[in-house]
Structure 1
Amino acid sequence: MPPNVPPTSRQLPTTSGNTTPPGLVSARTHPINMPTPRVPARPANRTCRFTGCFHYVVDKGLCVRHGGGKRCTAEGCSSRAKHIGRCWKHGGSMECKSHGCSNRAKSRGYCWSHGGGAKCKTEACDKIAISNGMCWAHGGGTHAC
């Protein structure tokens, strides 16, 4: 090896078996090689305060599962209230605004059949999106080969 050239970590002799020379970081303890703890996707102040739960807070620091949010007022029902103090099973959903339709409204006050739901992302398409923001014709939904 030429003089005045620092040796690489592969060329450095070790004094006793698995020890790392002073000033160098062991490959096993290098930050890149250490397992990273799983980080919750939501900020800590918006996660449920129930021990071990990382669901999103709805009300009083709790997720729906652990008592957050208002409950259905129907006797014996513990589901979350959607509208007028009732869950969708007990009449808490809104009816479609379309004249003569008694279906539940999906969004903007209309049921799926009358235009409720998200519109397809594809330009000039007025169909309802099935999945990934697109209608069936433009790639939404599951297509069998």
Structure 2
Amino acid sequence: MERSANTKPAATEDEEDYAALIYQESQRRKAEAAALAAAAGKNKKKQSISKNGATRTSTRIDGSSTKRVAEGKAVHTRKRKSSEGNDDEQAPKTKKVAKKQYQYSKLCSADGCTNLAREGKVCCRHGAKVTLCRHDGCTNQVIKGGVCCRHGGKKICSRDGCTNQVQRGGECCRHGGKKLCSREGCTSQAQRGGVCCRHGAKIKLCSRDGCTNHARKGGVCCRHGGKKLCRYEGCTKHDQGGGVCRRHGATHKLYS
């Protein structure tokens, strides 16, 4: 009985050995983990230090480059100004040409009058002084040289007894100022091919049914839309400017 009390069984000794080995292994692994953590911390510090140094150097480089760029721009602007000044000195001075000025004609100041004002802001009907032809008994307005068209203000056809205005070669249209139709006995003006419309000249007519007027624009005559009409209701006159005719306010330009 005494021998069994002093001696331990073999199973308990083996368990103690295993426990000691496990403890040693755990301590060894803890030491390895601590060493790895310390090494990782050192590497992070080195990387952060290298990054900070790179940013500092990059900022220094950027600052120097911006300074160089600014200096280059300043030199370029100075050279450009100096070259412009030399060009201005060398370039010859050009004469300024005065542009033609236009004066828009105004309407008569009388109430309800749509005529153009002549003198004193009124038309001839309401008191504007207009010079008349110097021939006795003639009430026409002067055109040139103190006379009207009939009495020499414009050239008249050289044919005896003809009072029409000259068109070309000292004669009116009827007497040769414009080409006449080549057909015998026809006194109409030639349009195309030396003949008038009646004898074969091809001229486009208005595309509207029953209309015999000449086509102006878009295949229609002025009455059917070839030219713009006055925008006032019931007015069939052509647009002279601003969408209205002269009676409703359109003005024409006069040389000053």
Fold in common (TM above 0.5):
no
Normalising by the residue count of structure 1, what TM-score does the alignment of the two structures yield?
A: 0.43
Q: Which has the larger radius of gyration?
A: 2
Normalising by the residue count of structure 2, what TM-score does the alignment of the two structures yield?
A: 0.28
